[in-house]
Amino acid sequence: MAMRIDGKRISQQIKDELKEEVAALGEQGVKVCLAVIQVGNDPASTVYVGNKKKACAYVGIESLAYELPEETTEEELLNLVRELNKKDEVNGILVQLPLPDHIDEDKVIRTIAPEKDVDGFHPQSVGALSIGQKGFVSCTPAGIIQLLKRSDIAIDGKECVIVGRSNIVGKPMALLLLRENGTVTVCHSHTPDLKAVTRRADILVVAVGKAKMIDADYVREGAVVIDVGMDRDENGKLCGDVDFASVEPKASAITPVPGGVGPMTIAMLMHNCVESAKQNI
Ligand code: NAP
């Protein structure tokens, strides 16, 4: 039976470490502040934003909430971002995605000052990651690296296979695993024989967005399986991209959904906010 990688426990550990760090920064007169912008009232976004505010409160980070109506124009949103870029007291700016269709997401992301880009989505942050320079890293893949390291799972020299090549998960995941000296393969919807590739993996990261797509057939005996998916099964219950019941007996370690990768994303967002505040010391 596989070891269950407990994202809830590890994310709590990270938040507790950050809480101490924020308190110590406070004693030096350094405050940490995150501005969170939501446009419209998509229910899932409201839940995510609420969770981010809760995590900020726990860690001791001040959060400024900007809840803008659905009909906010692109220019209005860009102006708010520009204004926040200039505010010294704001260390991080997060624009909750997705944005309404009339707003160009890429343009908004490009307008966030890279030194406040705590989501790590700005092209400069992504570029810095790809050439090994300093910059914010997308929170979900950064959280996966923490899950592996804090579970004593070695990456160096391992065969790492990622299923999915999105800008927020698959691609930065590949770069991070490469940085940790993994041998990395990225699969996508045009990969002809997916099983043949995933079966090579010592560490298999799955981010496809398809409920329970990866079953035991895709997994090598003893592999570490990281499930990024947040999907709904046939009964509307939250599940991952990995068929947990089928894969768990074959894997050496596995993340559950919920309670695996999910909680790490917010913990790493908090981490990025604290790092941002430390730039100003
Ligand atoms: P996405 O942008 O939709 O990307 C999905 C990727 O999977 C694409 O690269 C796609 O290939 C690939 N793919 C789709 N079907 C495939 C197939 N049959 N075989 C091989 N590859 C296939 O998704 P995402 O934003 O990366 O998210 C993936 C999942 O992670 C979703 O369930 C999402 O909800 C979840 N997620 C969770 C967190 C968290 O905090 N836990 C954060 C982000 C995302 P192409 O590029 O060829 O189309």
265 Cα nearest atom in ligand 1: 40
In the prediction, which pLDDT does 281 show?
Answer: 76
- Rounded to an integer, what distance in angstroms lies between the CA atom of residue 264 and that of residue 162? 18
Q: What is the pLDDT of residues 112-151, one digit of tens each?
A: 999 999 999 999 999 999 999 999 999 999 999 999 999 9
Distance (Å) from CA 264 to ligand 1 centroid: 17
For residue range 27-49, what is the model confidence (pLDDT) as tens digits?
Answer: 999 999 999 999 999 999 999 99
Kindly give the distance from the C-alpha atom of residue 124 to the centroid of ligand 1, in angstroms, as a whole number.
23
| Per-residue DSSP letter, 199 | T
- Residue percentage of the chain with pLDDT more than 70: 100
Q: What is the mean pLDDT of residues 192-208?
A: 98
**219 C-beta closer than 6 A to ligand 1:** no
Number of Cβ within a 10 Å radius of residue 190: 6
Give the catalytic positions in this structure: 52, 96, 119
pLDDT, tens only, 221-264: 999 999 999 999 999 999 999 999 999 999 999 999 999 999 99
For ligand 1, atom 25, the nearest C-alpha belongs to 166
| Percent of the chain predicted with pLDDT > 90 | 99
Q: Would you place residue 5 in the very low, low, confident or very high pLDDT band (cuts 50, 70, 90)?
A: very high
Q: Is the CB of 97 under 6 A from ligand 1?
A: no
Q: How many Cα atoms within 13 Å fall on the side-chain side of residue 48?
A: 20
240 C-beta closer than 6 A to ligand 1: no
Please work out whether the CB of residue 165 comes within 6 Å of at least one atom of ligand 1.
Answer: yes
Nearest to 37 by CA among 5, 87, 72, 89: 72
User: Of all atoms in ligand 1, which is nearest to the CA of residue 169?
Assistant: 26
pLDDT of residue 1: 80
